[in-house]
Amino acid sequence: MSSEIQDSFNEYKSQWDEMNTRQEETKRLLAAEIKMMVDELESGDVFVAMRIAEMNVMPTAMSSIGDNIGVSGSVDNIASNVRSMITNLQNRFNIGGEMDLPTAKEFLEVINQVAAVLRKELEGYDETEPKNSPLTKDTLTRILQGLGTMGTALVSDPNNPEKKPWIPEKGGLPIEDASLVATNMKNWFKNNVTPLPPSGGDAPKPPSFSPEINQVTTSLQTMTGEVSSVSTTQTSRIQYLNNLFNQLQAVMSQIAQIESGVGGAMVRNMLAR
């Protein structure tokens, strides 16, 4: 059964798919227009070739850049969507020692839903067709690894030290382990120690967290770092493409001047005959 988390991700991925389709269509059109311009040049009709460059090739090239910006923007939206999933997990973990059994069950259900979204993306990833996923295989793998570390800590059983770690790629966490989550979190946060301020009026020392809290927190930070890296890359790419777009505008203006000059020379030659 589909979840809200999966539906939200699918919506953003659908937008990404649409942008990729538009980008491919524009690239095919651009290739056809460039061929048409080259054919005119080879036939010796420079004026017509320059007119095609001005009226067709350059506008389509600028549209292609716009499509690329759209693709990068949609990837950034997907990264933001995944980041919101991780923030959701962080907020649930922040309940701390107040975690009860029903809340722990909901927590595990959300973890499993997030894992299912990422697992589906990883399973469908094709090395030969990277455009079938907005996130790279390495990014998906590292986020799932972070999720696995987090889930393993949450459902750890002090009475079963041989319990195998959770591997999200192979399936979800058992919901019946919610009792372990509730018990573990009560113990972790109960044993959490906040040192008293040292004598002499210095600033208080930061709280000392249990190893388990640190493990979960580090996992959440790692996952957030992965999607933030995706956003940073796309932001840089969009900036580069915007600069390229501006450069093409300048080139387009120059082509118009050249084309005007060629046309003027042709008129002058005709009048001189």
Residue range 56-62: average pLDDT?
89
pTM of the model: 0.82
Q: What share of the chain is helix, strand, coil (3-state, %, to 5)?
A: 80, 0, 20
* pLDDT tens digits, 199-248: 555 555 555 567 888 899 999 999 999 999 999 999 999 999 989 888 88
Q: CA end-to-end span of the chain, whole Å?
A: 80
Give the pLDDT of residue 53.
84
pLDDT score of 81 more than 50? yes
Q: Tokens standing for 145? A: 């690894």
Residue range 10-28: average pLDDT?
93
Q: Tokens standing for 7? A: 């539906």
Closest CA to 30 of 42, 19, 41, 38: 38
Host domain of residue 74: 4-272
Calpha distance 96→155 (Å, rounded):
15
pLDDT score of 255 more than 80? no
For residues 99 and 186, is the Cβ–Cβ distance under 8 A?
Answer: yes
**Total domains in the fold of the chain:** 1
Give the pLDDT of residue 270.
44
Which runs of consecutive H residues, i.e. helices, occur in 124-210? 137-154, 178-190
For residues 149 and 215, is the Cβ–Cβ distance under 8 A?
Answer: yes
For residues 149 and 219, is the Cβ–Cβ distance under 8 A?
Answer: yes
Q: Tokens standing for 85? A: 């999933």
Which residues contact residue 194 at a Cβ distance below 8 angstroms, ignoring those fewer than 6 apart?
Answer: 207, 208
* pLDDT tens digits, 163-177: 999 999 999 999 999
Give the pLDDT of residue 2.
57
Give the pLDDT of residue 149.
94
Buried/exposed 228-251: b ≥16 CB within 10 Å, e otherwise: eebbeebeebbeebeeebeebeee
pLDDT score of 266 more than 70? no
Best mean pLDDT range from 50-64, 136-150, 203-217, 253-267: 136-150
Helix, coil or strand: residue 193: strand
Position 87 confidence tier, pLDDT thresholds 50, 70, 90: very high
